[in-house]
Amino acid sequence: MHNRHQVLDHIYRNQGSSKQDIMRALNMSLPTITQNLRDLESDGLIRRGGFLKSTGGRKPQIYTFNNRAAIAIGVRMTARQIILCAVDLRGTCIKRATGRLPYRHAHAYYHRICQLIEQFIGSLGEDSEHVIGVAFCMQGIVSADGRSIAFGDILGNTGLSVDEFARELTVPCTFIHDSDASAMAELWMDPSISDALCIYLEPYMGGAVIIDGRLRQGGTMKNGTIEHMTLVPDGDDCYCGQKGCADVYCSARVLLEHRDETLDEFFNQVRDDEYAHRRIFGVYLDHLALAIKNMCTVLNCDVIVGGKAGQFFTTDDIADLRDRVLRISAFPDDDFTIRKSVCHPDQDVIGSALIYVREFMDSVCGAD
């Protein structure tokens, strides 16, 4: 089994390997490699992909990883629409679809969602047989087993069970908190990340924790839920029922409060040095700096900032934010880094599908 994992892992990491390449890289005997290649090919995990140029004698056969041996589906239901992404084993979105459907915490709505998912899977053609799971990227806090919504105050869906979908869909399903999903994608797209605190400045902000190159959700799935860190004692009301939470001061929607404006327009005004917008942004960065300072007292590592608002941050904004953190830091000489998230389109939807992709890759290549 160990040899099989190693051979597959090598082919996955080095697209287009010959038996000789594998032999050299893994120090394995030719018969062992041949046997494993035969098994992996019959399991559909690898394919023959042409020949290398001959250096005399027979041309060496090239083996490539079958990126579509398994496909995972990511789903995001928002107040107004649904987004679906089919993701292959490279983490690439191979198909995307959206539908306008106002969210309702009602059986009829979830039934319609299941129909849309089945239609979407059907539209994948022969890949539809390889779908291994549907992961729902949720705005609420997910229960420890990923099977229900423990706190769903934004969409009013506390208590929603994954069974609502599982009993209609033909493949396994799970829930994942949206900021955890974004961090999952972060990690996939930049495997060099070791430890990081991720902050996603979405309309409703969220956070996630990466330790030792893995997303760490914690036993209760509440690691990194900085949106409810108390930033201003007795401050403004938060949707969680408490006062002064970070969500009230650092969410993307705060930048637009009371004005009929998009984030794009907001940041254009900031870049034009318009006084009122510049001021709102300054206050916003101060609040964000305080949240980051507090987070870093518990886990001192790199900070990654992303989300709908974070995607507009320039290098100067990130430097400005870092200065603001250092100004209020207990250890201002800290060698600490704030950087921008990959800010990939549909990052959270793709990231949720990656839960299944990661699990599949761990099972066929052996976990690290």
Which of 46, 89, 162, 245 is the binder for Zn ion (CB under 5 A)? 245
Between CA 38 and CA 67 the distance in angstroms is 18
The type of residue at 118 is E
Indicate the burial class of 160 (C-beta count within 10 angstroms; 0-12, 13-18, 19 or more): buried
Decide: is 344 part of the binding site for Zn ion (CB under 5 A).
no
Check: CB of residue 65 under 8 Å from CB of residue 11.
yes
Q: Which residue's CB is nearer to Zn ion, number 101 or number 240?
A: 240
Decide: is 250 part of the binding site for Zn ion (CB under 5 A).
no
Decide: is 301 part of the binding site for Zn ion (CB under 5 A).
no
Check: CB of residue 248 under 8 Å from CB of residue 258.
no
Per CB under 5 A, the segment of 56-64, 230-238, 261-269, 285-293 that binds Zn ion is 230-238
Q: How far is the CB of 152 from Zn ion (least distance, A)?
A: 13
DSSP SS3 for 247: helix
Helix (H) or strand (E) holding 7: helix 2-13
Closest CA relative to residue 44, chosen from 132, 121, 123: 132
Which of 238, 285, 289, 305 is the binder for Zn ion (CB under 5 A)? 238
Q: Which residue's CB is nearer to Zn ion, number 99 or number 235?
A: 235
Q: Nearest 5°: CA angle at 138, between 170 and 203?
A: 150
Per CB under 5 A, the segment of 21-29, 135-143, 232-240, 310-318 that binds Zn ion is 232-240
Between CA 212 and CA 193 the distance in angstroms is 8
Per CB under 5 A, the segment of 45-53, 55-63, 77-85, 227-235 that binds Zn ion is 227-235
Strands (E) in the chain, as ranges, are 46-51, 61-65, 71-77, 81-87, 93-100, 131-138, 141-142, 149-151, 173-177, 196-200, 206-211, 214-215, 302-306, 338-340
What tokens were used for 224? 């990194």
Per CB under 5 A, the segment of 29-37, 185-193, 242-250, 345-353 that binds Zn ion is 242-250
Q: Which residue's CB is nearer to Zn ion, number 121 or number 245?
A: 245
Q: Which residue's CB is nearer to Zn ion, number 149 or number 245?
A: 245
Which of 10, 76, 228, 324 is the binder for Zn ion (CB under 5 A)? 228
Between CA 122 and CA 120 the distance in angstroms is 5
Decide: is 28 part of the binding site for Zn ion (CB under 5 A).
no
Q: Which residue's CB is nearer to Zn ion, number 52 or number 240?
A: 240
Q: How far is the CB of 150 from Zn ion (least distance, A)?
A: 14
Closest CA relative to residue 104, chosen from 96, 95, 113, 93: 113
Check: CB of residue 178 under 8 Å from CB of residue 202.
yes
Per CB under 5 A, the segment of 144-152, 239-247, 272-280, 320-328 that binds Zn ion is 239-247
Decide: is 289 part of the binding site for Zn ion (CB under 5 A).
no
Q: Which residue's CB is nearer to Zn ion, number 232 or number 342?
A: 232
Decide: is 232 part of the binding site for Zn ion (CB under 5 A).
no
Q: Which residue's CB is nearer to Zn ion, number 25 or number 240?
A: 240
| DSSP character string of 78-125 | -SSEEEEEEE-TTS-EEEEEEEE----SSHHHHHHHHHHHHHHHHTTG
If you count them, how many residues does the chain have? 368
Count the residues of the shown chain that bind Zn ion, applying the rule CB under 5 A: 5
Decide: is 177 part of the binding site for Zn ion (CB under 5 A).
no
Per CB under 5 A, the segment of 66-74, 166-174, 228-236, 326-334 that binds Zn ion is 228-236
Q: Which residue's CB is nearer to Zn ion, number 141 or number 365?
A: 141
Which of 101, 166, 240, 318 is the binder for Zn ion (CB under 5 A)? 240
Check: CB of residue 210 under 8 Å from CB of residue 186.
yes
Q: How far is the CB of 147 from Zn ion (least distance, A)?
A: 24
Q: Which residue's CB is nearer to Zn ion, number 237 or number 334?
A: 237
Residues that bind Zn ion (CB under 5 A): 228, 238, 240, 242, 245
